[in-house]
Structure 1
Amino acid sequence: MSLPDSKPSPGIAAWRCEFQHSADEQAFLRHHLATTHGQLRVTLVICTLVYLGFNITDIVWLGYSSQTALLAGVRVAVAIAAMGGILMLRRWPDSIGTTQLVASMAELAGGAGFLLITALRSEEFALHAISMAIIIIVFYIYIPNRLLYSAPIAALSTLGFVLLAAGLGNLRPVELGTIATMLALTNLFGYVAAARYQLLLRHEYTAQNVLKNLSVRDPLTGCYNRRYLHQQLLETEISRAQRYQLSLTVIMCDLDHFKLVNDRYGHHGGDAVLQHFARLMQALTRDGIDSVVRYGGEEFLLILPETDLAGGELLAQRLRLALSAQPIAYGDQEISATASFGVASINFAQCSSSAHTNMITAADDMLYAAKNSGRNRVCSRQLG
């Protein structure tokens, strides 16, 4: 079972508008992947229709000629590149890299195609400058791509346009300077708008993660809470074990004589023991696979996918020995603690599909058997 991060996401690199750690950035991109695909497909379709539609203006300005046919060929090539991008998205719907590649290819094809059209219709650079400004905005805002990719492509397209205007536009220096300034400002404002949008998305994602963790985790120990256990976690692991005919083991843990700890050291001392025990369980279980749940008070539940009874017993013994072997530091005092463990396991390849219905109850029964037989021990039971 994949564990949601219990910590807030780390900082965001402001200059590239991405999370500083690649794992957090990849998680963010995957979270938004379906939305990104939808936005990208819509943008590619609209841009394709616009590119093809402007073929009418070519005919109006130039009439029917070989130059018009060449312009039409350029527009069709850009449209084919856009449609190819949509097909790539359908072929690899789960690939973040493919999504970014399609977005970058669309920007490169759109920019290169427009520059070629501009070169073929060099008498209209003032009008082309307006279109270039619109294309820059599309690159920054409407094509969902990394800002690290969009900004250089937009800047290079702008530079190419200005060079074409200087070489082919027959413009006065003041006109060329005005166009260059306008496009530079369009790049600047486009970058600022895109940066704000990207930062806003990541701050929103971070806030959602914080709220999600608050809803599914115990604030004192950082373990999952009982509500999340019953709403999603347990059923998910049982369904997975049933589907693939795997073993599933749960361990019910309870700190021995915890009331005496609270009476002697106060509730802050009790909290220190709970936090220490939670850290110990999280350290000895498999990150991203096993789950640690604060079941209530001083009781914890471990869910161990793909683990048989012997594996559960071994882990319970390791936890029992590790907890009892070292006192817990609390200020200038040390608190000794032990725990009892009840283990219940199911092998879904050999048992009935209904055997899991009393799994936690069986682990709880084994826990009380451990307590009744002297505490600081492990009792176990195979179900089914």
Structure 2
Amino acid sequence: MKNIIAPSLVKFAIQPVRVEFRSDEIERNFQVHHLVRNQASLRTTLIFCSFFYLAFALTDAIVLGYTSETLLLLAARMFVAITATVGLYQVRLRPASVITLQLAATAAEIVGMGTFMLIVRHRPSEIPWHAMSFCIMLIVVYIFIPNRLIVSKCIAFLSTAIFIVVVLKTSTLKLSDMLTMSMLLLLTNSFGLVAARRYQRLWRDEYRVQSLLTEQAMKDHLTGCFNRRHLHDVLLPAELKRARRHRLSFGVILCDIDHFKSINDTYGHLCGDAVLRSCSALLQRLVRQQVDCVVRYGGEEFLLLLPQTDRLGAVNLAERLRQAFAETSVEWSGQSIAVTASFGVLAVDLAGGNTEVTEEAIIAAADSLLYRAKTKGRNNIQSDDLLHRMASRSV
């Protein structure tokens, strides 16, 4: 159990101050995963807040009358609504951009807080009401506007300090009232921060669990390669569809470790597992990262899916792999165990838009080539073109 839990804890470790994944890649994936939800949350919150910012312009007119100060505050309130509208429009233009969402959220928070300070400055007789409103705004910043916690925290703390300074300069509150208000603002910041940290951790813990479950569903637990189910459910259908649409070719290599049963019988199954891990690591190291896919297809069989690769490219890779297997030995109980492998290499060229190619035909052809390689003495490569094989059989 430790071998499973410990790596996941390291991989999905959370930075305690920012409450974000330490891995930038995982954090980006997390943000993308929640992007639609965050966009909806931002849209609802900004529309709601903009409406009330504008609606409370009536109180400016009631308190200040129809003066230049009233017009100034109305312009400031309208600027809040304009900032929210522009931000939401930019988010709509760039629906796949996490940065745009965060910038829109940050701009709305800064402009909203700045406008509120202006209102407090021009309506100093209502400080208790302003303090209550400001507490609500702090909760909105911490909880309801989707932004990075470190940014929301900085805006909330800086706004609190500015609010206290403005109150000190414009109001005649007694020292006891001022102290009480400051403590309430500190309490609001504390509760808001604690709640925000809890939500951020809960969302990331949920994402971690989902990611691990997804990875376990598509990966082989022993080798870390994709499993056969994921190949047939996702990888091969997607590559076949893409190759047909864009008239591309791709390669399939079926690899089988030679005399693997003999290794198990001679050294035991634990040694066999070590050989499988070593061979899978070699395969994953020599293929193109983030492009090619390595699948554990059977007990000692591995399948390599090579997008945009012709027959020559696939054969060249198979030869490099064959040589690497032959030159690499697995250490077990003080002994060096030599390992070789046989390869069936199949090229699938769909430049002509052939629609008769099926997943079953691809696997069957690669398996036939692998069988030929093993019958010809093992530790060798047999290759062919799928369309050529299909044409020769039809004849």
**TM-score, with length taken from structure 1:** 0.95
Q: Distance in 1 between matches of 2:372 and 2:345?
A: 11
- 1:7-54 Cα offsets, whole Å, 9 max, x none, are 973311011101112122111111111111111111111111111121
What secondary structure, in the 3-state scheme, does the structure 2 residue paired with 1:296 have? coil
1:298 to 280, 290, 300: 300
CA contact (8 A) 1:7 1:210 kept: no
Q: Does 2:369 align with 1:366?
A: yes
Which structure carries more relative contact order (alpha carbon 8 Å, separation 6+)? 1
Q: CA RMSD of the aligned region, Å?
A: 1.6
2:124 to 122, 125, 128: 122
Query: How do residues 306-321 of structure 1 correspond to structure 2 at under 5 angstroms?
Result: 306-321=308-323
Aligned to 1:267: 269
CA contact (8 A) 1:8 1:206 kept: no
Query: How do residues 268-287 of structure 1 correspond to structure 2 at under 5 angstroms?
Result: 268-287=270-289
Query: How do residues 133-148 of structure 1 correspond to structure 2 at under 5 angstroms?
Result: 133-148=135-150
Instruction: Output the amino acid matched with 1:362.
Output: A
**Per-residue deviation, 1:60:** 3.6
Aligned to 1:174: 176
Cα 1:294–1:6, aligned 2, differ >3 Å: closer, same or farther? Answer: farther
Query: How do residues 225-244 of structure 1 correspond to structure 2 at under 5 angstroms?
Result: 225-244=227-246
CA contact (8 A) 2:105 2:145 kept: yes
What secondary structure, in the 3-state scheme, does the structure 2 residue paired with 1:182 have? helix
Aligned to 2:87: 85
Aligned to 1:189: 191
Q: Distance in 2 between matches of 1:45 and 1:331?
A: 68
**Per-residue deviation, 1:63:** 4.0
2:381 to 350, 375, 378: 378
Instruction: Output the amino acid matched with 2:343.
Output: F
Q: Distance in 2 between matches of 1:366 and 1:6?
A: 39
Aligned to 1:42: 44
**Per-residue deviation, 1:179:** 1.1
1:220 to 200, 219, 222: 222
Query: How do residues 23-172 of structure 1 correspond to structure 2 at under 5 angstroms?
Result: 23-172=25-174
CA contact (8 A) 1:251 1:301 kept: yes
**TM-score, with length taken from structure 2:** 0.93
CA contact (8 A) 1:58 1:68 kept: yes
Q: Distance in 2 between matches of 1:243 and 1:80?
A: 44
Stretches of structure 1 lacking an aligned partner (at least 5 in a row): none
**Per-residue deviation, 1:351:** 5.3
Instruction: Output the amino acid matched with 2:335.
Output: Q
Aligned to 2:391: none
Q: Distance in 2 between matches of 1:256 and 1:241?
A: 32
What secondary structure, in the 3-state scheme, does the structure 1 residue paired with 2:226 have? coil
What secondary structure, in the 3-state scheme, does the structure 2 residue paired with 1:344 have? strand
- 1:330-380 Cα offsets, whole Å, 9 max, x none, are 121221121111011112113512224411111111000101111111001
Q: Distance in 2 between matches of 1:6 and 1:305?
A: 30
**Per-residue deviation, 1:6:** 9.2
What secondary structure, in the 3-state scheme, does the structure 2 residue paired with 1:174 have? helix
What secondary structure, in the 3-state scheme, does the structure 2 residue paired with 1:252 have? strand
Cα 1:343–1:375, aligned 2, differ >3 Å: closer, same or farther? Answer: same
CA contact (8 A) 2:244 2:354 kept: no
Stretches of structure 2 lacking an aligned partner (at least 5 in a row): 1-6, 388-395
Aligned to 1:203: 205
Aligned to 2:23: 21
**Per-residue deviation, 1:259:** 1.0
Q: Distance in 1 between matches of 2:304 and 2:322?
A: 13
Identity %: 46
Aligned to 1:288: 290
- 1:307-328 Cα offsets, whole Å, 9 max, x none, are 1111111111111111112221
Instruction: Output the amino acid matched with 2:378.
Output: R
- 1:79-103 Cα offsets, whole Å, 9 max, x none, are 1111111111011211121111111
- 1:194-239 Cα offsets, whole Å, 9 max, x none, are 1111111111111111111111111111111111111111111111
